[in-house]
Every structure is written in structure tokens, then in C-alpha cells.
Structure 1
Amino acid sequence: MGIVNSVNTENRCGHFKADDEDGELFSWLIDAGLTGTRVRDVFTEFCERLNKRGVRIKRGNIALSAIHPQVSAFMYTWRHGEGLVTNTNFLHSDIPGEGWFASPFFFMLTNKIPFLHRPLAPENELDFPVLVEFREEGMTDWFCQIFDFGWGFENQSLEISAGLITSWASDRPGGFTEEEFRILSKAIPLFGIAVKGIASFRTARAMLETYIGRETAGKVLSGQVRRGSVDSINAVLVYADLKGFTQLSDTIEKGDLVEMLDHYLDRMASPIEAAGGEILKFMGDGILATFELTSADEQSVRQICEAALGVTEQMMEGVDFLNKERRDADKPTMDLDIALHVGEVMYGNVGSETRLDFTVIGPAVNEVSRIEALCDDLGSSLLASGDFMRTCSNAVTSLRSCGYHQLRGVREPIELFCRD
């Protein structure tokens, strides 16, 4: 216990108190990595702190690989006296231009060179066009250092395993001094560790949100990961299913089939997310989504139900528009059936000891899927349960009762409402 009490606990990260300027800079970098500040903010302050420390940075640039469904990398550029001047996201669909293939970064990555230094003195012959531009702008020295994060995947658009590219330029006459290189040789790797610490958590969040939804990701990241840990919630359930997908899957080339399905699911998912719903599952050619009602007052409940009903109209309009485009292009189309229901469901971790699924279970989940299965029989692309309509109370809808119907596995018939 005496050892624990002797440690200085004033610093948030619990490391020893800095006793010189270098220590203060390194201590700040450790704190930045532990506290999860945004990468762009850490980079900006790092450049400013280096200049205050006496390291004459004229231009700093970093490119951070991303594990993200749309973005392949983030790039930031800082200039002395101007601050952050570039904040760029590179998409997976972006095609690198000639400038990338003529850059020192491309050369280093393809030749597995982690460090490259080029003094920009007038008498030196430079081997990369961008360095000639830097010299013409008055910069005198430049170097690049690359860090592989060891995440084990290849970023094909950058031809780099996931990691961080950093480059630094000075306008000091004669270039960086030995003292500046001494500071930078220790500070930049610490900066790389701080960025990895921040990026690791943000990458985990982005991936979880992509695969299990924003709200569910928040629950998992907050520690709700124990098997059997579930909450009971009252929610509107939306079950949407594309018609004809199975038959088309036997006649369309696999690549075209996946692309077609993505286009349809995008039209179905976007309205749900825009209205604050949570997509729990993409089930092949269908979607299960919820709009939580728990803790909402009567007026809010009605508004949520109205929003869910409005979402179904937007989903069908989106699919109708897509079908028109595909018919005009002589491509196969699919129609959409949707069911709306409301009820109490259990929401949480279900599965085996080593493989869990964060999902909803309960009678209402089974019922909404069986309601959707009656769309063809009742000649309506949208069916809502009587429970949903009663929850909507005085909301104005375009749905009419189509009688009581038996659901498979459900004891009592339930009233269903369909579109006019």
C-alpha cells in the first residue's frame, strides 16, 4: 500500500510528474492518447506545442488509415500561423491520382521504408515533385515517418497496412537542428501511440455502429456484454421484406445480385435511420427495426408511431422510384412488403458462451414477421396490427381494418389494418 500511495496521482493518466520541458510534452501526449481527444485536435495541439518547445515546424501532415465502410483514410495538414488547413476524407471509391504515385509516401509504402529524410537545400537534387514545391515555398527540410498499427489488414487504396503516415517540414535556415531531431525522435512515436489509442476506440465504435446500429453499439461499448443481460422495452416493430429475391438469386450473376440488394436495402434503411429508428437486423432481403416507446408520454408515443408509419411510406416510395429506374434500364425489380406492430420485447445479449447477438426477442417479434407473411394473402403491401393502431390513438392514417386473422403459432386471431 505504501508503494501505491507514493505515486503521484495528480496527473490523469497516473504517470510520474514531468520535471522538464520534454517531460511535459511527452506527458501531454500520454494524456491525449488515454483521454480520447479527437485526432485532429491532438495533431493541431501537437504541432503548436512543438513550436513552443523550439522545434520549428512549418508544415505537418498526417494520413490515418480507417476501418470504415465508406472512408479509407483521413488526412490533416497543419501550417504554422494558419492552423489546420486541410481536413480530407478519402473514400474507398476514390481512385488515386498521378500525384499519389509520384509521392514519397507511395515510394516508402511500396518499398517498406518507414523513415525518409530529404534536406531541401537549393543545391540538392530532389527526387519527388512535391518536395520541389515545398522548397519553392521556402521550406528547408522535410522528413516522413510511417507507423504500422498491426491491425492486420491491407488498405488497398493506399497500398498500406492500417497505420499512420506523418510528414514534417521546417523553414529554419539549414533545416532541422540536432536538438530538434532529438526531441522529434521521441515525441513523434509517442504521438503515433496516442493516435493509435484514439483511433482504436473510434474504429471499434464505427464498426459496431455499422454492424449492430448506433444505440446498440452504445450499449455494448458501455459494457453490456454479459450473456443473458437483457432489458425489456416497449417498441414499435418494423419488419420489411423484399418479394422475389429468392427467385432472382437463381438467375442473376452474384456480383449484380449483391449490388441490386444493396440498392434496395439502402432505400429501405435510410428513412428508418433518418427518423431515429434502430435497424437491428439485415436478414438477407429483409430488415427488422425498432422505434423505442419506453419512457415516452402519450403524445410522444403517438408521434413516434406516426413517424414509424411515415417511414414505411418513404420506404415504399423509395423502392417504387428504384423500380422505375431499373425498369427503364431493363433490369429486374422487386416489390416490398412491410408489417407494423407494437409490443414489449426483450432487448440484449443472447447466444452461446463465445458468440453473442445483441437483438430483440419475444412474442411481438414473432408476430410482426407473421403479419408480414399475410401481405400477399390480403393484397396489401403494408399491414399494421390492431395494437399498433390503438397505440397511435387519434393519429390520422390511411389504413383501414381488414378484419381478424389467425397468425401461425398465435392462439387468438388479431385485427389487421391495410392500405386503402
Structure 2
Amino acid sequence: MGSQTIKTEQECKHLPAQTPEEEFFDWLMEAGLSGLPLADLLAQFCERLEALDVRIQRANIALSAIHPQVSAFMYTWRKSEGTVLSTNILHSDEPGEGWFASPFFYMLSNNTYFLHRPLQKDSDLDFPVLVEFRDEGLTDWFARIFDFGWSHENLLPENATGLITSWATCKPGGFTERDFALLGKAVPLLGLAIKGIASFDMAETVLQTYVGRGTSRKVLSGNIQRGAADSIDAVLVFADLRGFTVLSDRINQSDIMFTLDEYLERMADPIERAGGEILKFMGDGMLATFPMRPDEEEDICRTALLSAIEMLSRIKELNLERQAKGLLSMELDVALHVGEVMYGNVGSQTRLDFTVVGSAVNEVSRMESLCDALGRDFVISGEFARRARTCTEILQPLGHHVLRGVEKPKELFGLSPQAALLIEAHTCL
């Protein structure tokens, strides 16, 4: 073969498809590589099979998820409707009798990766859902399971990670030998395409969950070199729960994590809804940022301040709920600062942390530690007050104070009685 220059992906096919079946497989591989949304992938897969005279009447895929709220994503396509129904199965959902009587539970529990049941009138069907399918006019059904290899070795089979697929037709006599031959090649390729698409989606979800939205975008774009950092101007929010040690000594060990989650959720939610980023939870504390933009400096400062005020309100509301139940509670101290920090990767060669470092980070943590001495649950730096010009009506000067490890005394502000009343009333400004 002589020298060539190829500029398009289509021209790069040295082995062009010779048959409609090969064109179908080419499309399926390209769809997986391009990251086609799963609902569209399933619908187009079934429609293209129809063009090859493989008449799918109903198709279902259930993909196990690595997600903080969702345990599985399920998609169901019906030819009669021409659309895909998407369902999220939550970790909190309790499986019903239908699940335990389903062919999928049987397959997972018995390490069965393929199950075929003709749905003819005289068939002796062993699963109630297949009787329903037969009554709907379906004539044949089979299921195929794919293990993605993501499972922990001690995980129960019914909780394994991977893909469950099922396929049904209303063709008289059911699937033909040709149908099975084509589906036997196409369905595993579909599973591979789904794994490729899902792997990136799950990586994005896991990163957003553990390192935040902005940081996850940097990591997924390849910005993971040790020592790589950007200088950014940002509002820093440092919050710490007061009384966690006492509370953890007095409640059952099994309740500690649940209680801490209750408080941290009320702290994090206002920040995230306002566009801030939670960089890390530090036991019973939290560090968050609001990156500054020169043309929106006052608005960002105000947004950060209001979200911190709402955070205090949410904690006070939670404390009232707990006290009404006779439960112990914790108070929250918050510090708000602004400054230039380095945002990037620090750590060892094998374990990195994407975080912010710099004098402003040290200062905001020292500010929070003064809350008790000042009799305040919210302290704000003079630097923040000068840049949050539209918020001066709700700030109250507290004078200059020495911060441990900081050379010059720092001018600090608290919330005025007007803002304090709003917190007590559990309302946001």
C-alpha cells in the first residue's frame, strides 16, 4: 500500500462493510466509541435490527451503577411505542416479590448467563412475568447477562455489577436460527458499547461525588500531573461543627455516621446550589470555594455570603428538629475569606489530592478557630467585606485580631443583628 493521507474517519475504513449485517456492526462500534446516549443506543439498535428482519417487539437493559443514590439504570424499548422508558432504581428502593420471582434474580443467583423461553401457548412457563408477556402476544424471549468485572470478590451474585439484557419478539414461531445467529453477535457488541459509554459516565459521577464538579472536569480532561496548579482568586468558606467529639462519645457508634451525614448535607446543599464547590470534608468540617471573576466580584461575594447564612439557618433548623426528638445537637461555626490560592495537585507520586493551598487557606481556618473566643458563629475577613460592597448593611465590625501563625492582625467582621434575626427565623436573605 502506497503513502496515504486520510482526513475523515469514514475514509479510514480499510475494510468497508460488504453486507447490511456488517454495516450494522460498523454502526454499533461507532456508536459505542462516540458515546451515544444509552436510550438512543437501545432505540437505534432495535430499529436497525428491524431493518435486518430481526423483529424485536420489546427490549430491556438494566445497567448496575456506581452512584451515591442510584443502584441501577434501566431502559425499556417497545416497538409499539417507539420510545425508550428510562427508570432509575435507587439504593433505598426495597425489592418486591416481583424481583425475587423474576428470571433475572434466578439468573444472577444461579450464575446463569443465558436463558431462553419460547412463549408458545402450550409452553410451561416458570416465571410469572413471562406468562404476562405471552398474554400480551409475545412469542419468544431470551435474556443475556454480562459481567463487567467491577464487582468486589465478596459481593453477592444478585448485587454483581454489569449488564442484564432481555429480548422478545411477536414473530410467529419465535426467533429463527438466523435471528439467534445475528443476535448472538450483536448483543455482546452492544454490551461492550454500553460498558464503554457507562465507564466514562460512572467515572464522571464518582469524581463529581468525591472531588466536586469543577475538579472532576479538570481530572477527566487529563489535568492530573503532580504539582500542576493554577493561581485563582476565590471566596473561601471554612465551616466546622462544634460539639462533635462530645456527641460521638454519647451516642451509639452505629448512629455517628448517619448523624454526621445529616449535618454535612445541610451544610453542603446551600453551597452547591449557589454554584460553589465543596473541596473536601474534614471529619466534622468542610472547605468550599467560589471562584471569583473580575466582572462579577460583588455578585459572587454576595452569593457566597447568602449561601453561608442559609447554611447556618439549615443547621439551626436541624437542631430544633433533633431537640424536639430528645436528640443531642451540634452548633456550626463558619468563616468567610477571599484571596489568591493555588488550585491543583499535591501529594505523593501515587496518591494525589486536588485542593487549594496558600496563605488565604491558612487564614480562613484560623479565623474559624476564633469563633468561640469572639462569641460568634460567623466571622468574615476585612478583605471579603471590602469586596462584598453590596453586603455591608448586614456586616458588623469586630475589630482587629491576631491569628495564630499570621504576622499581622486581621480585621474581622460578624453578622449584624439584622442578619442574625434572619438566621433565627430560618429564612434566607
TM-score by length of 2: 0.94
Equivalent in the alignment of 2:396: 400
Amino acid in the other structure paired with 1:377? A
Equivalent in the alignment of 2:147: 148
Structure-2 change in CA distance of 1:260 and 1:217 (3 Å): same
Matches within 5 A, 1:187-198: 187-198=186-197
Structure-2 change in CA distance of 1:253 and 1:400 (3 Å): same
Equivalent in the alignment of 1:242: 241
Equivalent in the alignment of 2:38: 39
**8 Å Cα contact 2:43/2:84 also seen in 1:** no
Gap regions ≥5 residues in structure 1: none
Structure-2 change in CA distance of 1:13 and 1:246 (3 Å): farther
Matches within 5 A, 1:192-271: 192-271=191-270
**8 Å Cα contact 1:341/1:387 also seen in 2:** yes
Amino acid in the other structure paired with 2:349? E
Matched, 1:419 2:415: yes
Equivalent in the alignment of 1:296: 294
Shift of 1:246: 1.5
**8 Å Cα contact 2:6/2:12 also seen in 1:** no
Shift of 1:11: 2.9
Find the aligned partners of 1:405 and 1:15 in 2 and give their Cα distance. 73
Amino acid in the other structure paired with 2:62? A
Equivalent in the alignment of 1:340: 336
**Residue 308 (structure 2) aligned to one of 305, 312, 324:** 312
**8 Å Cα contact 1:8/1:14 also seen in 2:** no
Shift of 1:154: 7.5
Structure-2 change in CA distance of 1:155 and 1:308 (3 Å): farther
Shift of 1:28: 1.0
**8 Å Cα contact 2:148/2:195 also seen in 1:** yes
SS at match of 1:310: helix
TM-score by length of 1: 0.96
**8 Å Cα contact 1:65/1:155 also seen in 2:** no
**8 Å Cα contact 1:143/1:167 also seen in 2:** yes
Matched, 1:179 2:175: no
Find the aligned partners of 1:155 and 1:51 in 2 and give their Cα distance. 41
Find the aligned partners of 2:12 and 2:254 in 1 and give their Cα distance. 49
Equivalent in the alignment of 1:386: 382
Matches within 5 A, 1:321-360: 321-360=317-356
Instruction: Indicate the larger mover: 27-36 or 367-376.
Output: 27-36
Shift of 1:178: 1.0
Find the aligned partners of 2:138 and 2:306 in 1 and give their Cα distance. 58
Shift of 1:86: 2.4
Instruction: Indicate the larger mover: 170-179 or 78-87.
Output: 78-87
Find the aligned partners of 1:367 and 1:83 in 2 and give their Cα distance. 59
Instruction: Indicate the larger mover: 164-173 or 32-41.
Output: 32-41
Amino acid in the other structure paired with 1:373? S
**8 Å Cα contact 2:148/2:162 also seen in 1:** yes
SS at match of 2:266: helix
> Cα deviation per residue 1:361-416 (whole Å; 9 max; x = unaligned)?
00000000000000011111100000000011243441210100011111100100
Structure-2 change in CA distance of 1:207 and 1:30 (3 Å): same
Structure-2 change in CA distance of 1:70 and 1:144 (3 Å): same
> Cα deviation per residue 1:299-333 (whole Å; 9 max; x = unaligned)?
x1101100011011110110011001100111110
**8 Å Cα contact 2:302/2:390 also seen in 1:** no
Equivalent in the alignment of 1:163: 162
**8 Å Cα contact 1:141/1:171 also seen in 2:** yes
Structure-2 change in CA distance of 1:155 and 1:238 (3 Å): farther
**8 Å Cα contact 1:13/1:34 also seen in 2:** no
Amino acid in the other structure paired with 1:296? P
**8 Å Cα contact 2:111/2:157 also seen in 1:** no
SS at match of 2:305: helix
Gap regions ≥5 residues in structure 2: 417-429
Equivalent in the alignment of 2:371: 375
Find the aligned partners of 2:349 and 2:25 in 1 and give their Cα distance. 42
Find the aligned partners of 1:219 and 1:316 in 2 and give their Cα distance. 31
Shift of 1:10: 3.4
Instruction: Indicate the larger mover: 173-182 or 390-399.
Output: 390-399
Find the aligned partners of 1:307 and 1:201 in 2 and give their Cα distance. 32
Find the aligned partners of 1:198 and 1:35 in 2 and give their Cα distance. 8
Find the aligned partners of 2:282 and 2:98 in 1 and give their Cα distance. 43
Shift of 1:419: 2.0
Find the aligned partners of 1:327 and 1:115 in 2 and give their Cα distance. 55
Amino acid in the other structure paired with 1:264? Y
Instruction: Indicate the larger mover: 174-183 or 190-199.
Output: 174-183
Find the aligned partners of 1:172 and 1:238 in 2 and give their Cα distance. 63
Shift of 1:7: 8.5
Shift of 1:261: 0.3
Q: What's the % identity of the aligned pairs?
A: 59
Find the aligned partners of 1:213 and 1:4 in 2 and give their Cα distance. 47
SS at match of 1:408: coil
Structure-2 change in CA distance of 1:175 and 1:152 (3 Å): same
Equivalent in the alignment of 2:82: 83
Amino acid in the other structure paired with 1:89? N
**8 Å Cα contact 2:139/2:170 also seen in 1:** yes
Shift of 1:5: 4.0
Amino acid in the other structure paired with 1:318? R
